[in-house]
Amino acid sequence: MRNIALYDTTLRDGMQGIEINYTLTDKIEIAHKLDELKFDYIEGGFPLSNEKEMAFFEKVKKEKFQHAKVVAFGSTRKPGKKTDQDAHIQALLNAETPAVIIVGKSWKAHVDQVLKTSYEENLQMIYDSIEFFKKEGREILLDLEHFFDGYKDDPAYCLKILETATEAGADALVLCDTNGGTLPTEVMQIMQELPQNNLKPLGVHFHNDTGNAVANSLMAIEYGASHVQGTINGWGERCGNANLCVIAPNICLKMKLNANICQQLEHLTSLSRFVFEKANIIPDKRQPYVGDAALSHKAGQHADVILKAPHLMEHIDGKLVGNERKIILSELAGKSTIVRKLDKYGTFDKNSEIVSKLIKILKEKENSGYEYEAAEASFDLIIRKAIGQYKSIIKLENYHLESFKAGTNDSKTLGKIFLSMDSQTLMGVATGMGPVETLDKALRDALAPYFPFMNKISLIDYRVRVLNPEEATAAKVRVFITSSDHERTWDTVGVSENIVEASWEALSDCMEYYFNNYEI
């Protein structure tokens, strides 16, 4: 079987997506995570773009990677320049990465309107740049920018570029759909027309502007590509890039092809969430394979089938990608749903007293405004209390919050919290911008000396829903809090006419859930 090389460009192309930014430390940590999962190439960025990119390549020289090759990204020499005197080429050389990728124009319209040079000079630029890096002992990959648009415009010229790059010694020729407008049928047709036996190995790089980046990537692999580029979670310019969190399991589990990541696929969900955390973005629950919803079942009938024959409702075993099944609790839940939820706590018959008790609690809570479909962690605590497997660390005596504002300065909140633990009273003190932040800080101040795991947990989302708006300022609110320890995420809920009280309930559930599930 062919081996498919996976090339990650999260740290370069992925950062061109809206709201995506990483610190230098973030980039190094993400690179190591990618290496642990045996990605073959990690594109670090363009050394000349800014100081942070330059600093990354300086720092990465001192880092040790077990599998992946770090790649510096740049372009061919400029028109009319000598290769060894071109600043971009020199920057790539000085990055000292084992592999280099350069962008070459393959659409004649770009040669005319962007490079403003001749078609022959464009070919020579590609040839000279590849030859230069091969003589320097580097692995050299060529990104053929706008290849699919260029091929549709002039197939003969694009073929000439491929032949030129092959002759110059390129290690891989990466066909790019830079505008993201190509459809899978076009990919199939073009891949079939290329004389692949006479060319260096082909790779592909697709953008997602038609929603087809993953489909295009898989189609290209089906028709000969042995190298595929993309980003974690599909982030990138405009609508994003091909999502490697979808491509990788499809290669390994569906297409049954070889890829080094197949050995580490069970860590894929953790990687996806780690990258979300570093970007300070809430994980996409509906993402295939690695999203929370990927293996979630809500209706009672579905849950009943899962209990009897999981493969009839799930196309893979979630453990293969490090994800887990979730049976969603809602007004649709029946006895089978509750029994399935109880699997992790022990064996319970669907006619047991515990099951009936939990169904009653669920209905009563939902009638009061609680909603556990999006707050499984809070229901975990309800189950533990019902079956005697709950241990509390938060025994609230009281808290006091005082907000103040001076002139045009931002308002501040001062908070004190008193907790009891065994025979002693614990106090936490904090200031924050608002009451919820202050409560969170005060709780950590009180408990962190006794429970260090508190420092691993961060709150990554806070949402408020007004349940009865007709009551105006006296309305009941439902608060959801999403928390993470940088590997897992979980959701908790609180309901009250007092938004601070609802927030406290969700906040304390967050800490109690972690303690009961991961610290005991």
In a domain, 139, yes or no: yes
In a domain, 376, yes or no: no
Q: Detail the DSSP E strand segments found in 13-79.
A: 41-45, 69-75
The pLDDT tens digits for 6-24 are 999 999 999 999 989 999 9
The band of 404, judged by pLDDT with boundaries at 50, 70 and 90, is confident
In which region does residue 180 sit, left (phi positive, over 0), alpha (psi from -120 to 50) or beta (all else)?
A: left
Buried b or exposed e, range 374-407, using 16+ CB within 10 angstroms: bbbbbbbbbbbebeeeeeebbeeeebebeeeeee
Instruction: Please tell me whether residues 134 and 171 are part of one structural domain.
Output: yes
User: CB-based contacts of 100: which residues, under 8 Å, 6+ apart?
Assistant: 71, 72, 74, 92, 93, 133, 138, 139, 140, 141
What does DSSP say about strands 139-145 and 99-105: parallel, antiparallel, or unpaired? parallel
The pLDDT tens digits for 92-142 are 999 999 999 999 999 999 999 999 999 999 999 999 999 999 999 999 999
Distance CA 104, CA 422 (A): 69
In a domain, 470, yes or no: yes
Instruction: Please tell me whether residues 170 and 238 are part of one structural domain.
Output: yes
- Say what the alpha-carbon torsion angle 332, 336, 341, 347 is, to the nearest 10 degrees: 160
The structure tokens listed for 18 are 């809206």
Q: Detail the DSSP E strand segments found in 186-238.
A: 202-206, 227-230
Q: Domain with 23 in it: what CATH number?
A: 3.20.20.70
User: How many domains would you assign to the chain?
Assistant: 3
The structure tokens listed for 211 are 């929603």
Distances (CA, A) of 112 to 79, 122, 212, 383: 12, 10, 29, 68
Judge whether residue 332 has pLDDT over 60. no
Percent of the chain clearing pLDDT 90 (strictly above): 72
Helix axes 24-36, 51-60, angle to 10 degrees: 40
In a domain, 374, yes or no: no
Judge whether residue 333 has pLDDT over 60. no
User: CB-based contacts of 392: which residues, under 8 Å, 6+ apart?
Assistant: 512
Q: pTM, whole model, 2 decimals?
A: 0.75
Contact 478, 371 (CB under 8 A): yes
Give pLDDT, residue 101: 98
292 CB neighbour count, 10 Å cutoff: 22
Instruction: Please tell me whether residues 156 and 114 are part of one structural domain.
Output: yes
Judge whether residue 161 has pLDDT over 80. yes
Query: Domain span at residue 71?
Result: 5-278
In three-state form (DSSP H/G/I as H, E/B as E, the rest C), the secondary structure along 7-24 is EECCCCCHHHCCCCCCCH
The band of 166, judged by pLDDT with boundaries at 50, 70 and 90, is very high
Instruction: Please tell me whether residues 273 and 304 are part of one structural domain.
Output: no
- Say which residue, 273 or 229, is predicted with more confidence: 229
Contact 102, 140 (CB under 8 A): yes
Distance CA 243, CA 236 (A): 10
Stated as kind and residue range, the H or E segment containing 343 is none
Distances (CA, A) of 238 to 116, 271, 506: 26, 23, 36
Instruction: Please tell me whether residues 191 and 298 are part of one structural domain.
Output: no
Instruction: Please tell me whether residues 72 and 210 are part of one structural domain.
Output: yes
